[in-house]
Amino acid sequence: MEWAIQEIARRAGTTSRTLRHYGDLGLLVPSRTGANGYRYYDQDALVRLQRILLLRGLGLSLPAIKDVLEGQRDTSVALRAHLRLLEQERERIGRQIASVRTTLHRTEEGEGLMAEEVFDGFDHTVHEQEVTERWGQEAYERSDRWWRGLSPDGRAGFQGAHDAIARDYGEARAAGLEPGGDEVQDIARRHCEWLSATAEVTRSYVTGIGAMYVADPRFGKNYDRHGDGTAVFVRDALTTYARRRLSD
């Protein structure tokens, strides 16, 4: 079964021009092109388009999406991963909505606020299982103790330092600087110093973090906020820094 490009664009809420652009980038190749020049898409192409739209919705750039799709050949495994991410995001947003509603109600009624209600859905421990699987329970516990020991100002300062690093990466990429150049490598140095607050910074750790920014849209969107490929730029900068400066 096949669908014409206009029908797919209409059903997907996008445009034929966008689908042709995806095809030109090698992201979404049509199953065939008719004698009239129209592009047609089969079921496999529909599934691939769904994955593309999911990743775009999570903030990933087109080059980064291409990297992810090329690294996930098993469609069922990839879709399960996407589904898990969406369910986690739905749960987190649902908790945040409930939290804001509670805060609004208590504020309007003049009632006292409880911290655990105000910040439900904003808890960094949602990544406990993933961190443990990637780097071990000890790594998570060390990070958790450090985070809980920070004052509110300390947490804000830590996040602010990261925001500055992310901003500088974005500006460097936009300026056409090379990931391996001195200026960008200095940003990578600051990034590694920031990472060292919660983990032992080794070559393999930093290289793995960089790869995760590209492969996992939940983390990559901290840098690739405008779909401009900054996550890939950050990965390359960190990989170069790790190779030159760090050891395992």
pLDDT on residue 28: 92
pLDDT per residue rounded down to tens, the chain (248 residues): 889 999 988 888 888 899 999 999 899 999 999 888 889 999 888 888 888 887 777 667 788 788 777 766 566 766 676 677 777 767 767 777 776 777 677 677 776 545 444 444 445 554 555 556 655 667 666 666 776 676 767 777 787 888 889 899 999 999 999 999 999 999 999 999 988 887 788 998 898 888 888 887 777 777 876 667 899 999 999 999 999 999 87
The whole-number pLDDT of residue 243 equals 93
- What end-to-end distance do the CA atoms of the chain give, in Å? 52
pLDDT at residue 157, rounded to an integer: 79
φ, ψ (nearest 5 deg) of residue 246: -115, 160
Question: Could you tell me if 46 and 31 are in contact, meaning their C-beta atoms sit under 8 angstroms apart?
Answer: no
Distance CA 163, CA 203 (A): 23
Distance (Å, rounded) from C-alpha 155 to C-alpha 161? 10
The domains located in the chain, with CATH, are: 3-70 (1.10.1660.10), 132-245 (1.10.490.50)
Amino acid, res. 233: F
Does pTM surpass 0.75?
no
Q: What is the 3-state secondary structure (H, E, C) of 153-169?
A: HHHHHHHHHHHHHHHHH
CA torsion, ordered 43, 46, 51, 52, to nearest 10 deg: 140
